[in-house]
């Protein structure tokens, strides 16, 4: 490994950045070398995203110096940084869905490409160079996440990028797609392109990164060649304490039937029926788009569904909207934290209290002292990191935002807690805390319905899992006693009810 010898392409020195009430970066220094894959790991809120947004010109740094490719960068715009050879590929990808692959790669540069003919020809060349076979005339909206990433990478290459930043690129990829991405990363590396690879997943860091930087609370904790890190050391440095287990022990107090669902049919779902027991964590396993989210949304009254029946504790209940679901004792953490969960410009306190407004209302008037108590209680018990409860929730990190939503529902004390991707984009420490909460809810006689794209998470947390494929339940398993690949085969529609 010549990790120390190649020249420095990007030098970040003592960069700080503050936001109202939060110090996001606290004198960060990192050197990135040519042709290296530089992993950046850290919990949510560690400052990784802020740093990357400063590099790409979305934010302005407060102090510090950044030298990229021999030039000092004072302030930049996303467009300028792209032109100068620094490309960033965001988690949520930055493509125009209604335009074609080729048009996206050369967006705004059709003239330079001498029209659409040149655009598509050059796009073809770039895509071929990374082994991507997608047609350049296909609409981006029709592509899988993985292919969209290939398009983004091609776009970065079209600018002769010297440094490509990838922000959690693996979040929505399958294993095969991931393998392809790794292959491309190696290829880019061979061409002398540096890569900053941001990730939560330690496997990836150990798989193909050369140098690793660990960040925590806006500081760089350590930077050294991967080979000098042990797995435990990396985790400890990330979370600032030792974590023994990734998952708590399974809850053992499964009791009688709590809820029964029958005849749930929509355009996408076919005759869904299942039961949920007291003290149980029930996992729904399936591919994205298989109908997992549709099932829980229908249960919670978020989408209009007719003709199904729900009984809770033996009594039939009608749930036509989320309000009725809430009154029937259901709680719901939706899939998309920012779009469906939080009121971003509102304070932490208001976001926590919003499902429980009736509890601090008398004669229609809010009793703000009670509301304050509710906010403070959950900030404390869930260890939500925030300067105070009046701070806008958008200023918090992902994990802390998620805890606000959890707190919102804990205040209501639902007996059935639906969690759709509750740990998505959340760091290791906060994940464990959410696992403990699930277990606690179950052990107190409630039940949890858990959806997660991370298979190990569902399998380790659930007492029972249902596999969903193409809108049908294709199997039911106790993950403790059944091998994971059997469950996965069922979720892929290869065994069980569906043909």
Partner 1 sequence: MNALNTVLKEYLVLLMIVGLAILTAIVEPKFLSPANLTNIMRQFGPLILVSLGMTFVIIGGFIDLSVAGTINLVAVVTISLIDPLGQTGALLTGLLIGAICGALNAVLILTGGATTQAEALFITFGMSTVYSAIALIYSGGSTMHFWDLETSYSAFEVIGSGSVGPLSVSFVIFLASLALLWIFHTKTAAGRAISLTGGNKTAARLAGVPVSRSIVLIYTIGGFMAALGAIVLFSRITTAAPVIGAGFETNAILAVVVGGTTLKGGKGSVLRTVMGVLLVILLNNCLNLLGVSSYMQWAARGAILVFAIWLDNRKEVQGNQL
Nearer to partner 1, 60 or 183 (CB): 60
Q: Does 50 bind partner 1 (CB under 8 A)?
A: yes
Give the C-alpha separation, 150 to 157, whole Å. 10
Q: Contact with partner 1 (CB under 8 A): which of 323, 383, 390, 444?
A: 323
CB of 84 to partner 1, least distance (A): 22
229 sits near partner 1 (criterion: CB under 8 A): no
What is the rounded distance in angstroms from the CA atom of residue 245 to the CA atom of residue 269?
36
- Distance of closest approach, residue 363 Cβ to partner 1, in angstroms: 9
Radius of gyration of the chain (CA): 24
Segment contacting partner 1 (CB under 8 A): 3-11, 103-111, 345-353, 475-483?
345-353
Contact between 428 and 403 under an 8 Å Cβ cutoff? The reply is: no
Under a CB-based contact definition with an 8 Å cutoff, are residues 77 and 246 in contact?
Answer: no
Cβ of residue 156: shortest distance to partner 1, in angstroms?
Answer: 24
Of the residues 115, 117, 315, 339, which one makes contact with partner 1 according to CB under 8 A: 339
Q: Is 396 in the site for partner 1 (CB under 8 A)?
A: yes
| DSSP symbol at 233 | H
Told to check if 77 binds partner 1 by CB under 8 A, we report no
Q: Which is nearer to partner 1, 396 or 465 (CB)?
A: 396
Smallest separation, CB 341 to partner 1 (Å):
6
408 binds partner 1 (CB under 8 A): yes
> What is the phi-psi region of residue 364: left when phi exceeds 0, alpha when psi lies from -120 to 50, beta otherwise?
left
Q: Tell me the pairing of strands 194-199 and 211-216.
A: unpaired
Task: Answer for the pair 468, 453: CB distance below 8 angstroms, yes or no.
Answer: no
* Contact stretch for partner 1 (CB under 8 A) within 163-171, 226-234, 338-346, 442-450: 338-346
Contact (Cβ atoms closer than 8 angstroms) between residue 468 and residue 266: no
Choose which of 345, 369, 485, 499 interacts with partner 1 (CB under 8 A).
Answer: 345
- Strand 330-333 vs strand 447-451: parallel, antiparallel, or unpaired? unpaired
> What's the rounded Cα separation, in Å, for the pair 15 and 20?
17
Q: Is 134 in the site for partner 1 (CB under 8 A)?
A: no
Selected binder of partner 1 within 346, 370, 484, 489 (CB under 8 A): 346
- What angle (nearest 5°) sits at the alpha carbon of residue 169, between those of residues 168 and 172? 100
Closest CB to partner 1 among residues 190, 339: 339
Q: Which residues pair with 22 in a beta bridge?
A: 19
Q: Which two tokens stand for residue 287?
A: 């591919």
Stretch of 71-79, 205-213, 280-288, 333-341 contacting partner 1, by CB under 8 A: 333-341
**Of 43-51, 125-133, 220-228, 252-260, which segment contacts partner 1 by CB under 8 A?**
43-51
Q: Which two tokens stand for residue 391?
A: 């701070």
Tokens of 357: 């407004």
**213 vs 401 by CB, closer to partner 1:** 401
Among 75, 321, 380, 381, binds partner 1 (CB under 8 A): 321
Rule CB under 8 A: say whether 332 interacts with partner 1.
yes
| Cβ-based nearer residue to partner 1, 344 or 482 | 344
What track of x and - describes contact with partner 1 for positions 347 through 386 (by CB under 8 A)? ---x---xx-xx--x--xxx--------------------
Question: CB within 8 A of 277, min separation 6: which ones?
Answer: 254, 255, 256, 257, 258, 447
What is the smallest separation between the CB atom of 64 and partner 1, expressed in angstroms? 18
Of 242-301, which residues contact partner 1 (CB under 8 A)? 300
- Confirm or reject binding of residue 317 to partner 1 (CB under 8 A): no
Q: What is the DSSP string of 35-47?
A: T-EEEEEE-TTSS
Q: Which of 138, 237, 268, 394 binds partner 1 (CB under 8 A)?
A: 394
**Part of the chain binding partner 1 (CB under 8 A), chosen from 87-95, 234-242, 274-282, 344-352:** 344-352
Residue 89, helix vs strand vs coil: strand
Handedness of CA 188, 192, 193, 198 (dihedral sign): positive
Round to whole Å and give the CA distance between 294 and 292.
5
20 makes contact with partner 1 (CB under 8 A): yes
Look up tokens 């805390």; give the residue: 433
**Binding of residue 85 to partner 1 (CB under 8 A):** no
Sign of torsion over alpha carbons 402, 404, 405, 406: positive
288 versus 343: smaller Cβ distance to partner 1: 343
Count of residues engaged in binding partner 1, rule: CB under 8 A? 41
Residues 182 and 208: beta-carbon distance below 8 Å: yes
Q: Does residue 127 interact with partner 1 by CB under 8 A?
A: no
Q: HSE-up of 493 (CA within 13 Å, CB side)?
A: 9
Question: Where along the sequence are the contacts to partner 1 (CB under 8 A)?
Answer: 19-20, 22, 24, 45, 49-50, 300, 302, 321-323, 325-327, 332, 334, 339-346, 350, 354-355, 357-358, 361, 364-366, 392, 394-398, 408
């Amino acid at each position: 490994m010549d990790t120390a010898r190649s020249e420095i392409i990007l030098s970040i020195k003592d960069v700080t950045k503050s936001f109202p009430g939060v110090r996001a970066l606290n004198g960060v220094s990192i050197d990135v070398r040519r042709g290296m894959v530089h992993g950046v790991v850290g919990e949510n809120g560690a400052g990784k995203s802020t740093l990357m947004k400063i590099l790409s010109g979305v934010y302005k740094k407060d102090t510090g110096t950044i030298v990229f490719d021999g030039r000092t960068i004072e302030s930049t715009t996303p467009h300028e940084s792209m032109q100068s050879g620094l490309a960033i590929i965001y988690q949520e990808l930055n493509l125009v869905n209604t335009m074609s692959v080729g048009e996206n790669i050369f967006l705004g540069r059709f003239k330079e490409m001498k029209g659409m003919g040149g655009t598509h020809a050059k796009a073809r060349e770039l895509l071929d160079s990374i082994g991507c076979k997608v047609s350049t005339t296909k609409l981006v909206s029709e592509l899988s996440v993985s292919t969209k990433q290939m398009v983004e990478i091609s776009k970065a290459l079209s600018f002769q990028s010297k440094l490509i930043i990838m922000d959690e690129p693996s979040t929505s990829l399958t294993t095969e797609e991931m393998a392809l991405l790794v292959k491309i990363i190696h290829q880019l590396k061979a061409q002398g392109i540096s890569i900053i690879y941001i990730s939560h997943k330690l496997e990836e860091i150990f798989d193909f990164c050369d140098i690793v930087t660990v960040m925590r609370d806006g500081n760089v904790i350590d930077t050294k060649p991967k080979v000098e890190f042990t797995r435990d050391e990396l985790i400890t440095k990330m979370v600032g304490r030792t974590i023994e287990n990734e998952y708590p022990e399974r809850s053992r107090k499964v009791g009688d039937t709590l809820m029964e669902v029958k005849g749930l049919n929509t355009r996408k779902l076919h005759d869904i029926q299942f039961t949920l027991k007291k003290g149980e964590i029930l996992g729904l396993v399936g591919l994205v788009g298989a109908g997992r989210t549709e099932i829980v949304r229908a249960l919670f009254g978020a989408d209009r569904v007719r003709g199904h029946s729900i009984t809770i504790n033996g009594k039939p209940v009608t749930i036509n909207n989320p309000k009725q679901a809430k009154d029937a004792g259901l709680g719901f953490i939706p899939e998309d934290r920012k779009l469906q969960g939080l009121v971003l410009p509102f304070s932490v306190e208001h976001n926590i209290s919003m499902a429980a407004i009736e509890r601090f209302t008398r004669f229609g008037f809010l009793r703000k002292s009670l509301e304050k108590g509710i906010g403070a209680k959950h900030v404390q018990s869930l260890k939500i990191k925030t300067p105070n409860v009046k701070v806008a929730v958008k200023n918090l990190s992902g994990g802390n935002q998620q805890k606000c939503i959890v707190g919102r529902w804990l205040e209501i004390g639902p007996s059935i807690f639906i969690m759709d991707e509750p740990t998505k984009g959340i760091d290791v420490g906060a994940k464990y805390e959410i696992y403990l909460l699930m277990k606690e809810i179950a052990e107190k006689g409630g039940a949890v319905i858990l959806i997660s794209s991370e298979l190990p998470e569902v399998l380790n947390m659930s007492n029972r899992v249902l596999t969903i494929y193409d809108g049908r339940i294709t199997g039911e398993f106790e993950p403790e006693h059944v091998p994971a690949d059997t469950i996965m085969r069922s979720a892929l529609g290869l065994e069980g009810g569906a043909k």
